[in-house]
Amino acid sequence: MREASRIPVCSSCLAKPKPIEAEHFCVQCRSPFLSAYPLDEEGRCGLCRRGVRGFDAAYSFGFFEGELRELIHLFKYGRVQTLARPLGRLLSIALPRESSFDVIVPMPLHWRKRWQRGFNQSELLARDLGRRTRIRVMNALRRVRNTSSQAGLTSAKRRQNVSGAFRARKNSLEGKSVLLVDDVMTTGATAASCARALKVSGARQVTLLTLARADRRLGFDHSFRDLNFSGSVADAQSRSIA
């Protein structure tokens, strides 16, 4: 397990990530679309209509590309834990102001991956968001199965891969509105599996909040080809923002 890096990131680079802009969104999962054609009369996409999404709503600050992707890589793989605060600020910008939540729950890591990385990036983000919003943070989820990588899998295979991989504390969330926090959303399969576990534990509603999401309007294979990057801090520096 390597020590956390203290690579500085200037304020100019931290100001570069921009919020998502699109003309058409699913009203439930907030997936962006090039036209309204994939949405029904209520504004829901096909996955939400079929009930594949386990969560009730989803929000993200920006697309997983450019400067935001580089910052997330430095945070996770370069182990620049001090980025939790500025990235937590971006999370707070994406948080819907009209909604209220009883508890914030971070996406869990399997114990082996957490040991290798030295921290759970989602928990650091959740803690910062909790300080900003004064909402209680609870580690209510546990990853009971170390699943294989999601990279390169179809949406259906991703859902199958993480099915039953999470468990929540029994009756710990009875009747509560939960804000599930993670760093990146691709297809939403992992978050959906977590949301189902939270609801089995009694959660009334589960909303997903992430820093970034795939821009699936243009295809996302090129954006996620290096999600399994686990190089050294020097590698992370070479990928840092110019």
CA 174 to chain centre: 23
Output the DSSP codes for 71-126: HHHHHHTS--GGGHHHHHHHHHHHS-TT---SEEEEPP--HHHHHHHSS-HHHHHH
Higher pLDDT, 145 or 120: 120
Integer Cα distance of 174 and 170 in angstroms: 9
CB-CB contact of 99 with 206 (8 Å): no
Looking at the DSSP assignment, which residues form a beta bridge with residue 184? Answer: 212
pTM of the model: 0.80
The pLDDT value given to residue 155: 56
So what's the pLDDT on residue 111? 80
pLDDT in tens, 222-234: 333 343 333 443 3
Condensed to tens digits (0 to 9), the pLDDT of residues 189-225 reads 889 889 999 998 999 999 999 999 988 775 544 333 3
Average pLDDT, the chain: 81
Percent with pLDDT over 70 in the chain? 78
Helices (H), ranges, the chain: 11-14, 46-49, 66-76, 84-94, 111-117, 121-133, 155-162, 189-200, 221-224, 233-238
How far apart, in whole angstroms, are the C-alpha atoms of residue 148 and residue 186? 15
Collect all residues with Cβ–Cβ distance below 8 Å to 70 and sequence separation of at least 6: 239, 240, 241
Residues 129-180 have pLDDT tens digits of: 999 999 999 999 988 765 555 555 455 555 555 556 688 887 789 999 999 9
Cβ–Cβ under 8 Å, residues 35 and 11: no
